[in-house]
Structures are given as structure tokens and as C-alpha cells.
Structure 1
Amino acid sequence: MTDSDAAISMFERIGGSATIDRMVDRFYDRMDTLPEAQVIRAMHADDLGLIRDVLKRYLTEWTGGPKLYSPEKGHPRLRQRHLGFAIGDSERDAWLLCMRGALEETVTDPAARQDLDRAISGLADWMRNRQ
């Protein structure tokens, strides 16, 4: 990342709302179809429409875009919100498989994609709540 990149939010670097929307849609499409993602698909409702919207709002805010998540949901408290789900290495890896595929398909700037992948990987690892 260059000094000029640091002044620009990740939200702007990846292309804003349009990219977030495509990325989240591709993420859930992958989760819905990849056999390796069945372990995390089973944690979700049959209809993914509501959770797609929540993740779009969360990622918009998390990447430095408009505050679309916290005014409605409050502090993300991601680990607390996911305590009802057993998240270990295999769940983390399935989530990352889907997200990395979505990043590859939607984030055209290689440096921004690498930086976002690094941040998302740390977040996914932090979400584990079992061995």
C-alpha cells in the first residue's frame, strides 16, 4: 500500500457500493453452490436475501464507506452474534474459500484485493470459537 492509498478508504479503492454488492452476491452464490461450503451454508436460512443485505451494509461500513450497518444494528459484536454457531478451522476455511473467490471475481485492483484479503483473513480467523 502506498501513502496515497492510505488516504483512500478500502471502500473507494475497491469501487464502492457496486463492488460490495457484486462481491456479496458472488460470495453467497458460491456458498450456495460449492460442495466445500456446505458446512457454512447449513448455518444459514434457506432464503439468503436478508443476510445478503446485512453483509452488504456491514462490509460497506467496515471498508470505510457510509455507515449503513451500525445505525440499525449497533456495534457489530461479530463474535457475540456468531456464538450460536460452531466456527472452527473448517468453517473458517469454507468461508474464506467463498470470500476469496468473490474477491477474485469482483475486485479488479490487485493491491486492493490483496489488502482486503489480508484484512478479511484476519477477521475470519478471529471468528473461530472452537478448536
Structure 2
Amino acid sequence: MTQQFGTIYEAIGGFDTIDRLVTNFYRRVGKHPALTPIFPEDLTETARKQRLFLTQFFGGPKLYTEERGHPMMRRRHLPFPITPQRRDAWLECMKAALEESEIEDPYRTAIFEKLTMTANHMMNTPS
């Protein structure tokens, strides 16, 4: 009998997996020439907020809302010029981080699809 999980968060192993994913992701972001201009040099706080957000986004505890209020992701990202090229770079880093973090399908695909929709929504600047 296969184990049933209520959320993606539970299915992938909870916070430890989110932590690993975010660490692997920001290691790439911090070196990506299309992304470094819109991210701070020290990604510690950015990564911490991402851990809170992804925990909540994938069905875990509502850590982001408890600390920072409603996510309002598009509004929070408006100060940064997010072009189609930057969206693609962000997704490229996330795809590689998902693989490195050994998140298995169907969860890896589900996560990537949800994050692709979010990344598309964040675009605010033409090429």
C-alpha cells in the first residue's frame, strides 16, 4: 500500500526538503548573470523568506503569512525589473535545484508547474 500525503509539502519531506531546495536554488541565483543585478549580494535574508513562502505555498505551516502578512508576491516584486529573460533564468535555476534536491516525480513536476505559473505572473518588464 502506498502512503497518502495531504500536501506537496508533506509528500516531499517537509521543511528539510524545502531548506535543501532553497539552498540549492540560491547557490545558482547568486552566480546567474541575468539574476544577480536584481538580487542582493547577500542572499541570506532572501533565502530565509523564500523558505517561509515555499513552505506555505506547498501546503505546510503558514509561516510566511504569520511573519510578513499576505504574500502579495506580484506587488512585492514590482520594484525589480522582471523580464522574460529573467523569468527563464529563475526557472532554469529552480529546475536544476529541484533535480539536485532529489525531489521525485510527480512532485517535482507539480512544483515546477506551480512555480512556472507564479514566475509568469511576476513578469513586469518587456524584454
Cα deviation, 1:53-83, whole Å, max 9, x if unaligned, reads: 0000110011000111101110111110111
CA shift at 1:106, angstroms?
Answer: 1.1
- Provide runs of 4+ in structure 1 moved above 2 Å: 4-7
Q: Could you say which residue in structure 1 is the equivalent of 2:117?
A: 122
Superposition deviation, residue 85 in structure 1: 0.8
Confirm or deny that 1:82 pairs with 2:80. no
Gaps of 5+ in 1: none
Q: Distance in 2 between matches of 1:22 and 1:12?
A: 15
Amino acid at match of 1:31: V
Q: TM-score, normalising length from structure 1? A: 0.89
Over aligned residues, Cα RMSD in angstroms? 1.7
Q: Secondary structure at the match of 1:121?
A: helix
Matches within 5 A, 1:9-24: 9-24=7-22
Q: 1:32 aligns with which of 5, 13, 30?
A: 30
Choose 121-130 or 101-110, whichever is displaced more: 101-110
Give 3-state SS (helix, strand or coil) of 1:39's partner: coil
Determine whether 1:51 maps to 2:49.
no
Unpaired runs of 5+ residues, structure 2, are: none
Aligned length: 125
Normalised to the residue count of structure 2, the TM-score between the two structures is 0.91
